[in-house]
Amino acid sequence: MNSERPALYEMFDDRFRTGRCMSGDAGLEVLYTGCRWAEGPVYMPAWRQVIWSDIPNDRMLRWDEETGAVGVFRRPAGHTNGNTLDREGRLITCEQGNRRVTRTEHDGTVTVLADRWQGKRLNSPNDAAVKSDGSIWFSDPDFGITSDYEGYRAESEIGANNVYRIDPGSGSVHLVADGFGAPNGLVFSADERQLFVSDTRAGFIRVFGVRDDGTLSDGEIFAEAAARSAARFDNLRFDDGGRLWAAAMDDGVHCYDPDGTLIGRLDIPETVANISWGGAKRNRLFITAQTSLYSLVMGVTGTHPTGPGPRP
């Protein structure tokens, strides 16, 4: 099958084929093009729309699944990057330019969830993951303050690039992991006992054990970008077979077996920034890559962004 679809699927291990990772569409669908740097897609089930960020243009766009229409969701948008959903279906957004994490309420108002740690301004929140207990975990590299292209040039008040957790009860912000070059994508395993975090500058995906009190064990290396010379890791997503899918920038989308083996990849024509599952069956992969939003209906199903258990 791999020889029949060289333009999209590349298999390194037979598990990529037997796991149905090569089933589905034979090619990518281009849903929109015209961004400067597309990021952070999230599928909104109630609206049947995808919301994503166009960071340098300081706008958020939306694509309608029924009509295919694309329009502006928000502008200005605080140079937003990553987006996800909370347990109530509300939009959680990392605003690089405004240096904060926000929640869009059902009535459209915006609530600031975090903009400081120990009284110091955050660098530029990048990506977020919501745990089933309602806590929100986010990465805070310095991409939005190194220049005016994706935010506003400034000095870091914290002096480091870390991962934080927002307590669901008190709203307090806790440092949970440090020692990164630039933490980027983060995602919980299905049982929420592990947190996977990509480090774009270091070229690693690290995996941490998650303790009951919300602290993390020391992170171990799960995957290295050095295995593929063109790869740099951005965001991460799981499918329901326990495989980790990683936006690997100039090397497309990587697929890792639960044991850490790179078993295959998707060859994308632009630099891949972010991926997200959506659609009625959660088997449609949405991909933001440089100027465009792509999609691919697959034979595998993605996990829900807000973890296991019932949702309203």
Coil/strand/helix, residue 75: coil
Catalytic residues, by residue number, are 234
What digits encode the pLDDT tens for the residues 188-218? Answer: 999 999 999 999 999 999 999 999 999 999 8
Question: Over the Cα atoms of the chain, what is R_g?
Answer: 18
What residue ranges define each of the domains in the chain, with the CATH number in brackets?
A: 78-224 (2.120.10.30)
Instruction: Please give the annotated binding residues for a divalent metal cation, written as ranges.
Output: 39, 184, 234
Instruction: Report which residue type is found at 174.
Output: H
The residue-averaged pLDDT of 110-136 equals 98
Residue 165 structure tokens: 């957790």
Res 110: pLDDT: 98
**Percent of the chain whose predicted confidence (pLDDT) is above 90:** 93
In this prediction, residue 5 has a pLDDT band, given cuts at 50, 70 and 90, of very low
Q: What are phi and psi of 17, to 5 degrees?
A: -80, -50
Res 229: pLDDT: 85
Task: Give the predicted TM-score (pTM) of the model.
Answer: 0.95
**Burial track 118-131 (b if 16+ CB lie within 10 A, e otherwise):** eeebbbbbbbbbbb
Residue 4 burial by CB count (10 A; 0-12/13-18/19+): exposed, middle or buried? exposed
Instruction: Please give the annotated binding residues, written as ranges.
Output: 39, 126, 150, 184, 234
Count of CB atoms within 10 A of residue 293's CB? 24
Of the candidates 186, 177, 176, 180, the one whose C-alpha atom is nearest the C-alpha of residue 199 is: 180
